[in-house]
Amino acid sequence: MVTKAQVAAKLKKAGIPVPDSAKVADMEHRLNTWKSGEGFLVRLLRNPNNSFANHPVTLLEDKSKLYWMPNSQMADDIISSRIVLVLGRTHKPSNDAILLDVPSDYDSRWNDGGNNDTDS
């Protein structure tokens, strides 16, 4: 069994902040989904239309809100949608930003969505 200290050490070595909750499951989730480096402060430029129905950008719900996302595949995917504005990069969300963490089902919801084997 992996201890909290072992997972925390792995997070620190990877340059990923240890979550406040310090639950082993939360720390392992970060270790598996976050990349080292600063997260992104973003704002939604326009609401996603039907072409983004199965895209992680739908996690951002309000154009008037500021969101912080960790450096991750999810952030890369959302930024590549080109309907968000990156306002800056920082290690921690600002007080007025909504923390948008990588959902635990991210891979099953979105990483397989565009790779439809029946199309080939």
Tokens of 19: 């979550």
Phi, psi dihedrals of residue 21, rounded to the nearest 5°: -65, -30
Please tell me whether the overall predicted TM-score, pTM, comes out greater than 0.85 for this model.
no
pLDDT for residue 99 is more than 80: yes
Q: How confident is the model at residue 112 (pLDDT cuts 50, 70, 90)?
A: low
Q: Which of 95, 97, 98, 100 is closest to 77 using CA atoms?
A: 100
For residues 38-54, give the mean pLDDT: 87
pLDDT in tens, 59-91: 998 889 999 999 999 999 999 999 999 999 998
Q: Which of 39, 34, 47 is closest to 89 using CA atoms?
A: 39
Sequence-ordered list of residues with C-beta below 8 angstroms from that of 116, at least 6 positions apart, any chain: none
